[in-house]
A and B are shown apart, each in its own frame.
Chain A
Amino acid sequence: MTDIPFLSLAIWIPILGGVLTLATGPDVNARMARTVALLSALLGFVVTLPLYAGFDPNTAAMQFVEMRPWIDRFHVAYHLGIDGLSLWFVLLNAFITVLVVIAGWQVVKVRVAQYMAAFLIMSGLMNGIFAALDGVLFYVFFEASLIPLYLVIGVWGGPNRVYAAFKFFLFTLAGSLLMLLALIYLYNVSGSFEILVWHDVPLARHVQSMIFFAFLVAFGVKVPMWPVHTWLPDAHVEAPTGGSVVLAAIALKLGAYGFVRFSLPIVPDAVATYAPLVIALSLVAVVYIGFVALVQTDMKKLVAYSSIAHMGFVTLGFFLGNSLGVEGALVQMISHGFVSAAMFLCIGVLYDRMHSRQIADYGGVANTMPKFAAFFMLFAMANCGLPGTSGFVGEFTVILGAMKLNFWVAFLAATTLVLGAAYTLWMYKRVVFGAVANEKVASLTDIGGREFLFLALLAICVLAMGLYPFPFTETMHVSVDELLRHVAAGKLPPPL
């Protein structure tokens, strides 16, 4: 271990890079803005690599800890650290940021500096969320990250962007403000804003219930869980490609991460009580939203609903109460980060050429874009959880975990394998196969070097994770076991 504050660097390099990018000003300097943005994104990614290299998988304790007093009045500290639960999200986030910058390279032509800056700043803030070990610090990053995404959707989005941006912002804000009350309540009880202190503070049952529901609303909106998911399809459809990628790959993970960092360890007894409720909601997401995805005519909307279904798997896994479920869910989160990013980038590649997301406008794309069709095929397969791709590992593990709990839960969860295949492959078939649908499709050009680069990078990740998930699960194992031990122990005093 060294003394270099890698986590701080992972947070502040993208943010400072974003400010620098912003300083390049109007679009006449677009080239410089892009270069600065790419360099900061790359540098931001490079500084996260030592986090993996130096990570000790044999301990559940926080690593790379940084601790500095911030607001003395409330004993709030600038306290950072990661464990097996959060490590991969920091890396994933930094990686996706690089892709987003590359993906927006030529596509974004207006207000380039502001576009790039928004993504860089957002990336830094989101790293802050995953690394924060202080409640206020977490909350500050959690809410601040809304601002850039709101602007990205609103400024560079589609025709209905204003509605989508407002809905996104207000839904999330409503949830997170309830969480703020819960955090303040925990502070008043424990005299500290340290998340790790909260893990051990005893709480009565009714208090746990209240806090549990505050967290459920906050994180449930963000995940998003059925029935508060309605903002996501709107946001996805209107957001520019980069916005959709970050939204699906990272922003949705924030809610799920909140469940493992806050809900499970802080209110374990309430979790035990209400787990059936969350499991039921998750299954609704998996099955019902799966059907909803089936009937979509807009590709982005379809992938958005598929994201909700996949995130339903994640919440399901967390509340199963066994290590297979939690680990499977974490793997699923990372996998979904790669796969959904790839799906949205693929749709973006098509959209840039055709300016349509309607499935009906396509057909026979394979004839004109063979390389693209191959990549799209791989990602579509990963999206339906084909063995050998990353999508399989997580889903299969969660289903195994569900089987331990209850056959019917596992059965309903497993329907996703059928439904996922149905909506993804049916869409793929309609878009890519068949005869060339119209002249526009006939005049499509295949992907260029830049597009090849980001799709290939994601393809490598998807396959690597599918074929050899050990590096991922290895780092999680100890942390997950410790978490479950903690949850099982509960916080209520033993009955007399």
Chain B
Amino acid sequence: MNFVVPDFYPATAEIFLAAMTLVVMLITAFARRVARNLSYALAQTTLLVAAFITLFTLDIGVDHTFGGMFVRDLLGGVMKLVVYVAVMVALVYGRGYLAARKLDRPEFFLLTLLATLGMMVMITANHLLVLYIGLEMMSLSLYALVAFNRDDARSTEAGMKYFVLGALASGLLLYGMSMVYGATGSLELPAVANAVFQHSANRAVLLFGLVFLVGGISFKLGVVPFHMWVPDVYQGAPTAVTLIVASAPKLAGLALALRLLVGGMYGLAFHWQTMLMLVAAASIVLGNLAALVQHDIRRMLAYSGISHMGFMLLGLLSGVAGGNADLAAGAYSSALFYGIAYALMTLAAFGMVTLLSGAGFDAGNIEDFKGLNRRSPWFALMMLFVMFSMAGIPFFVGFFAKLVVLQSAIAAGHLWIAILAVVMSVIGAYYYLRVVKLMYFDEPENTAPIVAGGELRVLLSVNALAIAALGLMPGALLDLCLQALRTSALAG
């Protein structure tokens, strides 16, 4: 195999996914009658097979291919696996929701696969342009998905907002990349890193470009001050799409940040860390405060997501302290752990929203969770797990996620931001507790039994139990994250 197509081997999963996307596209065009179910099944199978391919090619080595534009390392493998799983889970959760609204058209699954491919490219890119192409492939598919319910004004409005702001952010990023290219004369990340490190590049131009890069990354992560789109999109998009937008792309955003900032701009760590520190602090403050006053659970989760991304950035900005890079792998792995934990929690939270949404009814209002303990003690318990995990209470994975990023921040000497973060998490605990209060302390207004497909019920339970299980045994995942960062292409 290696001998026949030596260059393609590291990219097998990407190539397979791209090929399958074309197959789904053909089915969409020529087999409309069976396409609805077939494309769903094909999408899930594709993701599953891609996951297996990635899993079996997972090792600690680093391969470059396509002339150094593509890199395969353990970090990318782990992130891609999380992306596949997140998208698969999101599709399962969203299926009943889509079917009830006649939105389960084959285009939906096609766009989802394309978005996934975009994320994979972002995760494995080693070249500024490739990174940008991956980003655009993901973003354009997501814009279309957000506006997928074209008869719904909110959905199209959200899509429009997302598109206009997202296009602006992509422009910023591209502009930043062009600055970097101008200053360093290269688009390949290792060469950029080298030029930055050697101080051979024009520093003013580089810093100017860096500001735009950080701006673009911040938009994709949805952090202050580039967070405006997040609540509107989460609320306006069909919940099945919110599931996708809120989970896997955050990880792709982290990959973007890791590849660009750590991989390319490591020599300027002091500068981007300072920028990210402001961004993180503002996100944690604003996200938690704004979430307090939301009545719509999707908006609440959106603001809570903004603060979670701020927490994730705490790990990213704690890698280099006083010119000392010993902490780097630990700090970046804490951000990765946070990202994975957040993806799990946000999937479960929006999964609960789809569970409670019936045909023609979106359980968007927080009040819809009222008395859930009466209607379904089991799912009330599952939601309790998710809420306490998001609030960072043990024994749930959210606690360990907070623990590791706070540990990184304190180790890097950022005590003040750690104190700010914990103070804000006390405030943040309020709105998670409010959901628990509604579920447990109040009587239900709507006593209708919950109608939902079996696979949604089972998977949602597994998801919530995984949050608890990872909270009891976080060791293996923490080790894996650290190992991924230590052996990654960034390590050099």
Contacts of B99 in A (CB 8 A): none
Chain B window 425-446, contacts with chain A (Cβ cutoff 8 Å), 1 for yes, 0 for no: 1100110010011001100000
B475 at the interface (CB under 8 A from A): yes
Q: Mark A389-408, 1 if CB is under 8 A from B, else 0.
A: 00000000000000000000
A151: chain B residues at CB < 8 Å are 436, 440
B479 touches A150 (CB 8 A): no
Question: Shortest Cβ distance from B439 into chain A, in angstroms?
Answer: 10
Q: Are B377 and A177 in contact (CB under 8 A)?
A: no
Beta-carbon contact of A181 and B419 below 8 Å: yes
Interface residues of B in 198-234 (CB under 8 A from A): none
**Complex Cα–Cα for A143 and B436 (A):** 16
Q: Which of A69, A139, A170, A174 contacts B394 (CB 8 A)?
A: A139
Known: A73-B482, A144-B394, A166-B433. A155 touches B441 (CB 8 A): yes
State which residues 136-172 of A face B: CB under 8 Å: 136, 139-141, 143-144, 146-147, 150-151, 154-155, 161-162, 165-166, 169-170
- Given known pairs A73-B482, A165-B437, A169-B433, the reply for A147 and B388 (CB within 8 Å) is yes
Q: Is there a chain B Cβ closer than 8 Å to A295's Cβ?
A: no
Contact of B422 among A71, A144, A181 (CB under 8 A): A181
**Contact between B426 and A170, CB atoms less than 8 A apart:** yes
Contact of A354 with B by CB under 8 A: no
Residue on B nearest A142 in the bound complex, by CB: B394
Decide: A184 and B407 in contact? CB cutoff 8 A: yes
Main secondary structure of the interface of B (DSSP, over half): helix
B51 on interface, CB distance cutoff 8 Å: no
Say yes or no: A73 contacts B475, CB within 8 Å: yes
Whether B475 and A71, one on each chain, are in contact in the complex, defined by CB atoms closer than 8 angstroms, is: yes
Chain B residues whose CB sits within 8 angstroms of the CB of A170 once the complex forms: 426, 429-430, 433
Which A residues lie within 8 Å of B377 (CB)?
A: 25-26, 114
A63 to chain B, nearest CB (A): 26
Partner of B407, one of A165, A166, A177, A188: A188
B425: chain A residues within 8 A (beta carbon)? 177
CA distance A386 to B278 in the complex (A): 60
Question: In whole angstroms, how far apart are the Cα atoms of A146 and B436 in the complex?
Answer: 13
Residue of A nearest to B380 (CB): A114
Q: Is the CB of B474 within 8 A of A150?
A: no
Q: How far is the CB of B246 from chain A (nearest CB, A)?
A: 25
B478 within 8 Å of A (CB atoms):
yes
A136-B403 CB under 8 A given contacts A144-B395, A178-B422: yes
Q: Separation in Å of the A423 CB from the closest CB of chain B? A: 32
Bits for A1-36, please: 1 = Cβ < 8 Å to B, else 0.
000000000000000000000000110000000000
Distance from B468 Cβ to chain A, minimum over Cβ atoms (Å): 11
A74 touches B429 (CB 8 A): no
Cα–Cα, bound, A219→B406 (Å): 21
Nearest B-chain residue to A166, judged by Cβ: B433
Instruction: Give the Cβ gap from B58 to chain A, nearest Cβ, in Å.
Output: 19
A71 to B411, CA, bound (A): 18
CB-contacts of B12-62 with A (<8 A)? none
Contact with B along A282-321 (1 / 0, CB 8 A): 0000000000000000000000000000000000000000
**With A144-B395, A154-B437 as given contacts, are A72 and B429 in contact (CB-CB < 8 Å)?**
no
Residues on A with C-beta less than 8 A from B317 are: none
Residue among B393, B423, B425, B482 having the largest count of chain A Cβ atoms under 10 Å: B393
Interface SS, A side: helix
Q: Chain B residues near A178 (CB, 8 Å)? A: 419, 422
Identify which of B422, B433, B478 contacts A180 (C-beta below 8 A).
Answer: B422
Asked whether, in the complex, the Cβ of A185 is within 8 Å of the Cβ of B393, the reply is no
A172: nearest chain-B partner, CB-CB: B426
CA distance A170 to B288 in the complex (A): 14
Q: Do A180 and B403 have beta carbons less than 8 Å apart?
A: yes
Q: How far is the CB of B392 from chain A (nearest CB, A)?
A: 8
The distance from the CB of A176 to the nearest CB of chain B, in whole angstroms, is: 9
- Cβ–Cβ contact B393 & A144, under 8 A: yes
Question: For the complex, what is the distance from the CA of A188 to the CA of B478, rounded to whole Å?
Answer: 17
Q: How far is the CA of A69 from the CA of B423 in the complex (A)?
A: 31
Q: Is A173 an interface residue (CB 8 A)?
A: yes
Q: Which residue of B lies closest to A182 (CB)?
A: B410
What's the minimum C-beta distance from B136 to chain A, rounded to whole angstroms? 36
Q: How far apart are the CA atoms of A166 and B474 in the complex, in Å?
A: 29
Expressed in whole angstroms, the Cα–Cα distance for A70 and B429 within the complex equals 27
Q: What is the chain B residue whose CB lies nearest that of A155?
A: B440
Complex CA distance for A139 and B395, rounded to whole angstroms:
10
Chain B residues whose C-beta falls within 8 Å of the C-beta of A144 in the assembled complex = 393-395
A187 at interface by CB-CB < 8 Å: yes
Which residues in chain B, 451-492, are within 8 Å of chain A measured between CB atoms?
474-475, 478-479, 482
> What A residues does B384 contact at CB under 8 A?
147
Determine whether B399 belongs to the interface, using a CB cutoff of 8 Å to chain A.
Answer: yes
Q: Are A74 and B407 in contact (CB under 8 A)?
A: yes
Cβ B399 vs Cβ A143 within 8 A: yes
B418 CB-CB contact with A under 8 Å: yes
- A188-B411 contact, Cβ under 8 Å, with A71-B478, A72-B475, A143-B399: yes
Which residue of B373, B393, B418 is within 8 Å of A143 (Cβ)? B393
Which residue, A26, A72, A140, A146, has most C-beta atoms of chain B within 10 A?
A140
Q: How many angstroms between the C-alpha atoms of A151 and B433 in the bound complex?
A: 10
Q: Tell whether, in the assembled complex, residue B478 and residue A73 are in contact, meaning their CB atoms are under 8 Å apart.
A: yes
Query: Looking across the interface, which residue of chain B has its beta carbon closest to that of A136?
Result: B403
Contacts A143-B393, A165-B441; A70 near B410 (Cβ below 8 A): no
- A191 CA to B425 CA in the complex, in Å? 26
Task: Give the interface centre of A71, A73, A114, A139 by most chain B CB atoms within 10 Å.
Answer: A73
Q: Please indicate the chain B residues that have their CB under 8 angstroms from the CB of A180 in the complex.
A: 403, 406, 422
A–B pairs, 30, beta carbons within 8 Å: A25-B377, A71-B400, A71-B478, A114-B373, A114-B377, A139-B394, A143-B394, A143-B399, A144-B393, A144-B394, A147-B393, A154-B437, A154-B441, A155-B373, A155-B441, A161-B441, A165-B441, A169-B429, A170-B429, A170-B430, A173-B393, A174-B426, A177-B423, A178-B419, A181-B410, A181-B418, A185-B410, A187-B407, A188-B410, A188-B411
Q: Report A's interface with B, CB cutoff 8 A.
A: 25-26, 69-74, 111, 114, 136, 139-141, 143-144, 146-147, 150-151, 154-155, 161-162, 165-166, 169-170, 173-174, 177-178, 180-181, 184-185, 187-188
Chain B residues engaging chain A, CB cutoff 8 angstroms:
373, 377, 384, 388, 393-395, 399-400, 403, 406-407, 410-411, 415, 418-419, 422-423, 425-426, 429-430, 433, 436-437, 440-441, 474-475, 478-479, 482
5 tightest Cβ-Cβ pairs between the two chains A and B: A140-B394, A177-B422, A73-B478, A71-B475, A154-B441
